[in-house]
């Protein structure tokens, strides 16, 4: 089934601020044939995100960042700072690839060489339109370390280098708790040998 | 130093107000937190969507080396303008009050795909979008028989219309690479299965 199998009856605005939230009144075709009754679904309208696995194929290491995350705090998490790969919202008129290069520089101080698109995915497609384009970017991690982020946007980011062996231990030890990082590092685990061959 | 050192005590919630309270809740928080170099941030104004915790299940048949998958309409994909707003997923649902994640995992697997779960192992916990949403997902791997896992399931009164099918783990991985499976719970669950299934098959068969 595709978009033509959905009839949007009405879009009801619920909130307009940093995020925009609407209630969609719609019906769609059923697998067994026929149509659903009118359904209402609340959805947060969210921009597109680009995420980058900053990988140094020579040192076989990954650059990670740590920052405060509101959603973890709101969930009652005892540890509302999160370790992750680089990520940010794509601004209007900017390509996902340009954004990936800009955000990696802003958040980690690393300049990206080769850039490969890994996967795209929705973070939580039941209630949010947020869509993530995930890249792997070639970096030199040799000089990584220190504090980054745009202070005017309230960003306070610590960047550091971790060997790939240690990253895998961190994945097994449940140290990563966000979808972008887990998906990115699982992808790197599957593609790392090829990248080391092609990128060195 | 790879492990976070700051805790909840390093955050001060100045005020919070509800912006919308419906199926989901949208909140406005005014807060400040400690900075890495010492001192405190200014008060930060942040919108946060409050959501209940979710349990996800990878329904895996270790004998046939198959995973049971579901297809259903997703409002977020439709709102994003996706040409194909039906999503291919593993089992997932909201944990109800008074119910453990394990109980929910077994109940939801039966409801959504008609499969009874044998062994059940916790795989990991993650936040799909911790920058702006409190949703926390606990992922399990559940032992099922994929034989006969097919047909249309779901609770019609809740508007659920779910198509069930089973495919090999290799085919599911190919669907991740092609973008046919493109939701965080499904990608994380199936990539985990691809990396761990040899060890799992040794233990479960």
Cβ separation of A44 and B128 shorter than 8 Å?
no
Give B35 or A47, the one with higher predicted confidence: B35
Cα nearest neighbour of B178 on chain A: A119
Residue A67, both tokens:
């920052």
Of the residues B1, B3, B4, the best mutation for testing chain A's interface (the one with the most A CB atoms within 10 Å of its CB) is B4
Closest CA to B6 of A77, A23, A130, A110: A77
Residue boundaries of the structural domains of chain B? 8-50, 54-204
Residues A105 and A116 both lie in one domain: yes
Residues of chain A contacting residue B41, judged by C-beta atoms under 8 Å apart: 154, 156
The helix (H) or strand (E) run that includes residue A184 is helix A179-199
Closest CA to B30 of B50, B44, B11, B47: B44
Judged by a CB distance cut-off of 8 A, whether residue B50 touches chain A is yes
The C-alpha atoms of residue A184 and residue A52 are separated, in whole angstroms, by: 8
The C-alpha atoms of residue B161 and residue A151 are separated, in whole angstroms, by: 46
Q: What is the mean pLDDT of chain B?
A: 94
Residues A106 and A159 both lie in one domain: yes
Cβ separation of B76 and A130 shorter than 8 Å?
yes
Convert B32-89 into a string of H (helix), E (strand) and C (coil). Answer: EEECCCCCECCCEEEEEEECCCEEEEEEEECCCCEEEEEEEECHHHHHCCCCCCEEEE
Residues A66 and A38 both lie in one domain: no
- pLDDT, tens digit (0-9, with 9 covering 90-100), for B131-169: 999 999 999 999 999 998 999 998 888 888 999 999 999
- Residues of chain A with confidence (pLDDT) below 70: none
Judged by a CB distance cut-off of 8 A, whether residue B36 touches chain A is yes
> Maximum CA pair distance of chain A?
61
- pLDDT, tens digit (0-9, with 9 covering 90-100), for A51-68: 999 999 999 999 999 999
- Asked if residue B2 has pLDDT above 70, the reply is no
Which of A3, A32, A77 is opposite residue B152, by nearest beta carbon? A32
Residue B166, both tokens:
């089973």
Which of A39, A123, A166 is opposite residue B128, by nearest beta carbon? A123
- Please calculate the CA angle A90-A126-B177 and round it to the nearest 5 degrees: 65
What's the structural domain count of chain A? Answer: 2
The C-alpha atoms of residue A154 and residue B10 are separated, in whole angstroms, by: 15
Give the orientation angle of helix B184-204 with respect to helix B169-178, to 10 degrees.
Answer: 160
Does the B54-204 domain belong in CATH 3.40.50.1860?
A: no
Residue B20, both tokens:
């919308």
Residues of chain A contacting residue B35, judged by C-beta atoms under 8 Å apart: 156
* Catalytic residue (choose from B17, B157, B158, B199): B158
Cβ separation of A123 and B184 shorter than 8 Å?
yes
The confidence band for B1, taking pLDDT boundaries of 50, 70 and 90, is low
Residues A195 and A98 both lie in one domain: yes
The C-alpha atoms of residue B85 and residue B93 are separated, in whole angstroms, by: 19
Residues A156 and A174 both lie in one domain: yes
The confidence band for B197, taking pLDDT boundaries of 50, 70 and 90, is very high
Counted across chains A and B, CB pairs separated by less than 8 A come out at: 248
Cβ separation of B8 and A78 shorter than 8 Å?
yes
**Would you call A153 a catalytic residue per the annotation?**
yes
Residue A35 is part of which domain span?
A: 3-45
> Mean pLDDT, to the nearest integer, of B68-93?
97
Residues A64 and A31 both lie in one domain: no
Cα nearest neighbour of A4 on chain B: B83
Nearest-neighbour CA in chain B from A29: distance (Å): 9
- Asked if residue B118 has pLDDT above 80, the reply is yes
Cα nearest neighbour of B88 on chain A: A125
| SS3 of chain A: helix, strand, coil, percent, to 5 | 25, 40, 30
What is the ipTM, given to two decimal places? Answer: 0.94
Is residue A52 a contact partner of residue A183, using CB atoms and an 8 Å limit? no
Cβ separation of A17 and B1 shorter than 8 Å?
no
Beta-strand runs (E) in B99-204:
120-126, 137-143, 151-153, 162-168
Judged by a CB distance cut-off of 8 A, whether residue B3 touches chain A is yes
Judged by a CB distance cut-off of 8 A, whether residue B32 touches chain A is no
- Asked if residue B4 has pLDDT above 90, the reply is no
The confidence band for B198, taking pLDDT boundaries of 50, 70 and 90, is very high
List all residues of chain A from 115 to 174 with a beta carbon under 8 Å from chain B: 119-132, 147, 154, 156, 158, 160, 162, 166, 170, 174
Nearest-neighbour CA in chain B from A113: distance (Å): 23
Q: Which residues, in sequence order, are CB contacts of A149 under 8 Å at separation 6+?
A: A67, A106, A107, A155, A156, A157
Q: Render the burial of B81-111: b for 16+ CB within 10 Å, e for the rest.
A: ebeebbbbbbbbbebeeeeebbebbbebbeb
Give the pLDDT score at A47. 84
């Amino acid at each position: 089934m595709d978009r033509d199998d959905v009839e949007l009856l009405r879009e009801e605005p619920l909130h307009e601020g940093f995020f925009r939230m609407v209630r969609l009144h719609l019906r769609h075709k059923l697998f067994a044939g026929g149509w659903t009754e009118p359904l209402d679904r609340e959805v947060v309208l969210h921009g597109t995100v680009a995420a980058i696995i900053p990988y140094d194929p020579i040192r076989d290491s990954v650059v990670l960042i740590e920052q405060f995350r509101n959603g973890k705090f709101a969930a009652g998490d005892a540890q509302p700072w999160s370790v992750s790969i680089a990520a940010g919202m794509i601004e209007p008129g900017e390509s996902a690839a340009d954004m990936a290069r800009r955000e990696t520089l802003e958040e980690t101080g690393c300049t990206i060489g080769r850039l490969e698109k890994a996967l795209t995915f929705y973070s939580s497609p039941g209630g949010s339109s947020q869509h993530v384009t995930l890249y792997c970017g070639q970096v030199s991690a040799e000089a990584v370390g220190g504090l980054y982020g745009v202070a005017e946007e309230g960003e306070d980011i610590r960047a550091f280098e971790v060997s790939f062996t240690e990253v895998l231990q961190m994945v097994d030890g449940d140290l990563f708790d966000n979808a972008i990082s887990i998906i990115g590092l699982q992808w790197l685990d599957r593609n790392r040998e090829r990248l080391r061959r092609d990128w060195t | 130093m790879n492990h976070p050192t700051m805790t909840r005590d390093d955050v001060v919630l100045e005020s919070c107000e509800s912006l919308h309270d419906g199926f989901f809740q949208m909140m406005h928080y005014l807060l400040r937190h400690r900075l890495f170099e010492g001192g405190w941030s200014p008060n930060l104004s942040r919108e946060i969507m409050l959501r209940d915790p979710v349990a996800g299940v990878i329904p895996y048949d270790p004998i046939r080396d198959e995973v049971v998958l579901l297809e259903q309409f997703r409002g977020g994909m439709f709102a994003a303008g996706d040409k194909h707003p039906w999503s291919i997923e593993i089992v997932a649902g909201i944990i109800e009050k008074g119910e453990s994640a394990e109980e929910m995992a077994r109940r939801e697997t039966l409801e959504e795909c008609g499969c009874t779960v044998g062994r059940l192992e916790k795989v990991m916990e993650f936040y799909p979008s911790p920058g702006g949403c409190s949703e926390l997902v606990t992922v399990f791997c559940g032992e099922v028989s994929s034989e006969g896992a097919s047909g249309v399931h779901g609770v019609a009164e809740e508007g659920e219309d779910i198509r069930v099918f089973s495919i090999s783990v290799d085919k599911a991985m190919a669907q991740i690479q092609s973008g046919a499976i493109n939701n965080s719970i499904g990608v994380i669950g199936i990539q985990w299965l691809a990396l761990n299934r040899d060890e799992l098959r040794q233990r479960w068969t």
